[in-house]
Amino acid sequence: MFKRMIPDEFVQSIYEIDLNALQRRGVKAVVVDLDNTLVESTRPEATPELVSWLDQLRGMGFKVMIVSNNNLTRVSRFATPLRVPYIHRAKKPLSAAFRRALNRLEVDAGETVMIGDQLLTDVLGGNRLGLYTILVVPVSQAEGIFTKLNRRLERLVFWWMKKRGLPGWEGRK
């Protein structure tokens, strides 16, 4: 039941992702969540560190797209100044937005990584289409009501993973 919620990789933040290893895997595109993955949900714009990370991604030849469940105003105001294409109100973990992202980026699922902070939206949605999935620790504890509910369900999944000896989950809350 929980197997589709297991990410391929777990890191503390986007800045710990080994981009060279992704290239060696054949990854050509990075689909990334916005809130609590790239920045806090209350931060209206990118940090200088995030701008550098995005520049590094593009400089290495990765295509980048933000796929967020948030609304048009939030996502467009954040992504447009960065010149990053986006999909808002994605309804993750449903597959439609992920398929649109793959089509717009002109890549296959096997050439794409999904990076996010939630098992039930980002990881599950990415895994359902066969994307390589990376789970990051949320950058903030400030979250909306639906995310708080998801976090309760995540704790059950993390308990299940720990019982099966899956590594790297001790640092999650």
The pLDDT tens digits for 79-126 are: 999 999 999 999 999 999 999 999 999 999 999 999 999 888 999 999
User: Got the DSSP string for 78-145?
Assistant: HHGGGT--EE-S--TTSSHHHHHHHHHHT--GGGEEEEES-IIIIIHHHHHHT-EEEEE--S-S---H
SS3 content of the chain, % helix, strand, coil (to 5): 45, 15, 40
Which residues form the domain of 127? 3-163
In a domain, 170, yes or no: no
Task: Round to whole Å and give the CA distance between 17 and 93.
Answer: 22
In a domain, 44, yes or no: yes
In a domain, 172, yes or no: no
Q: Which segment, 4-13, 95-104, 158-167, is predicted with the most confidence on average?
A: 95-104
In a domain, 19, yes or no: yes
CATH of the domain at 67: 3.40.50.1000
Burial degree of 92 (CB within 10 A; 0-12, 13-18, 19+): buried
**CA 64 → CA 13, 78, 90, 148, distances in Å?**
17, 14, 16, 27
Report field, pTM of the whole predicted structure over 0.75: yes
In a domain, 173, yes or no: no
Task: Report the number of distinct structural domains present in the chain.
Answer: 1
